[in-house]
Each structure stands twice: as C-alpha cells, then as structure tokens.
Amino acid sequence: MFMHIFALFTSTLWLGKLLTVLCRRTANKPCMTLYNKHELSQEVQSDNDHSYFIPEGASRSPCPALNTLANHGYLPRHGTKIHPMQLIRALHHGYNLSYPFAAFLTLGGFVAMGQFSDMSLGDLCRHNHVEHNASLAHDDAQEWQEYAPSGCNRTMFEKLCTFSSDGKYLSVSDWARARVSREREDPWSIDPIHSEIARGEVALVAGIFGGPKQMVPVEIVRQWWKDETFPKGWKPEHKQTLWKTIRTAWSIKSGMNEI
C-alpha cells in the first residue's frame, strides 16, 4: 500500500485535499483524532512478539512493506480490521517513517481505496486503486480481474536483481533501468499516476534500506521483498521523511528519462 500509495507524495498539496475529504467523511468525530500525539505515543504492537509468523488464512496485499509489518506483528497478523492510526504507528515503528509522512501515506491510501474506518490488506489488491500493473515483482491483473494477484512472482523478482550493476547492490540508476524495462514490456499497461506510484515504491526502498548513498544490498531486497520479512539484523538507521522520498523519486525519474 503502502507501498502502492506513494504517488500521493509527489505533491504536498494532496495532503490538504485528503484531510478535507476525511473530515467530511468522519464528521461525527474531530479530524485531528486521525493524527493525535497522545494516541501516536501509545504502543503500536498488535502483539509484543515481533518474530516472523503468518497465521493460516491471513489477508495479504501486493505490498511487501505492509505484509512484512503484519508478518512481524506491527499490524494485526491476520491483516484485517486495520485502522488508520494503527497503520501510522506501524509505519513509524517498523520503518522509522516520520509521523507526518506516515500519516500522509496512510490517509492517502484510505482515500484512494474509498475506505474511511478500516481495511484489510487484501483490499489493496483491488486493481488500479493503489495497486497497478507493471510491478517489478508481481503479475499484472487481467482485464476481467477486480483483484490483482498478491504474491511475489519469484521469476520476475530474480530478473529485478539482475539490474544490479555490480551484483551486490541496487543503486538509484539500477532502479531506474528496472522501471524502464518493465514499463516498456507493455507501454499501455500503466497510466501516468500509477507510474508515479511505481517510482515512489522504489524510492522508499532506496531510502529506507539504502543508507546515505541509497545503495540497497541485493540480499536485503531478497529477504524483504521476496520473503516479506525484516532482513536479519536490520534496523532503521535514519528517519525517512516525505521530502527525502520525493527527492529520490525525482532522481529515479531523471534516470529513466535518460535511458
């Protein structure tokens, strides 16, 4: 989602629009309760055990970021009845997104889905809401499908890893080449808005896992994206903000334009 929501950060003007809609839809309670410092300070855990575990029949999305949070108990492990405040806290505690950025992405995702109280991870499979074709590691939805496949296509994922220039790291330019290759397979499969979402996804991966130089170890990508688990021994090294992510997305777009 979350990872599929990321086009919404391309303009901070979106935030005002999203908050306006949410205020109208949730008129029975103050809008500020959606982002309350006291509530944000409360524990985020659905359980106190952050080991990897997926319950039988759990709901999952096409987004490895959210699935990983559920697999480790930062979100409800069954992936259902997720409230906006729960998601904001999980993004902050799991990936160290700044609270404003986490709130921005969360509210954007709920508005894009047209759901304003809670959602299941599986809801994010609804095609062309936040989910999109031309994913780097997921099959496209067929024209007759309302819900896209949620599982990682391991063949596609291994192809993604081959874009690493040195076989060890994925750089911003490597992500740009991967995006160009995928979108050229079927230029009509993805619209401009969802192209922004796709760039936002990889910008977040580069920002969260790539360190100061935004060089993401292939092995970290493999554990997190394919296996949907936090890489062994990994912890967020910095706070990921909206502005940092926007700048990376711009760099990826610039790299794509040069290919």
CATH code of the domain made up of 6-257: 1.10.489.10
Q: Give mean pLDDT, residues 207-221.
A: 96
pLDDT of residue 50: 92
pLDDT of amino acid 72: 97
pLDDT at 195 over 60: yes
First-to-final CA distance of the chain:
28
Q: What is the structure's pLDDT at 252?
A: 97
pLDDT band at 46 (very low <50, low <70, confident <90, very high): low
pLDDT the model gives residue 49: 80
Of 140, 76, 120, 112, nearest to 197 by C-alpha is 112
CB 34 within 8 A of CB 138: no
Q: Which residue has the higher pLDDT, 28 or 103?
A: 103
DSSP 140-169: PPPTT-SB---S--HHHHHHHHTT-SSSSE
In this predicted structure, the answer to whether residue 13 has a pLDDT above a threshold of 70 is no
Is a pLDDT exceeding 50 seen at residue 150?
A: yes
pLDDT, residue 20, reads 41
**How does residue 47 score in pLDDT terms, banded at 50, 70 and 90?**
low
Euclidean distance between CA atoms 112 and 87, whole angstroms: 15
Higher pLDDT, 67 or 147: 67
Name residues whose C-beta falls within 8 Å of residue 172's C-beta, 6 or more positions apart in sequence: 206, 214, 248, 251, 252, 255
Rounded Cα distance between 232 and 246, Å, is 28
Give the residue, 9 or 105, on which the prediction is more confident.
105
In angstroms, the CA 241 to CA 54 distance is 29
- Rounded distance, CA 242 to CA 180, Å? 24
List pLDDT tens digits, range 21-44.
Answer: 444 444 444 333 444 544 444 444
Region of poorest pLDDT, from 41-55, 56-70, 140-154, 241-255: 41-55
Confidence label for 16 from pLDDT (cuts 50, 70 and 90): very low
**Long-range contacts made by residues 215-220, C-beta under 8 angstroms, separation at least 24?**
215/169, 215/170, 215/171, 216/169, 216/170, 216/171, 217/168, 217/169, 218/161, 218/164, 218/167, 218/168, 218/169, 218/170
Dist. CA 158–CA 12, nearest whole Å: 35
Q: Percent of the chain, pLDDT > 90?
A: 61
Pick 78 or 149 by higher pLDDT: 78
- Distance of alpha carbon 83 from alpha carbon 75, whole angstroms: 10
Two tokens, residue 234: 């990994």
Q: pTM for the full model?
A: 0.82
Alpha helices in 42-171 (DSSP H): 64-71, 84-95, 99-113, 154-161
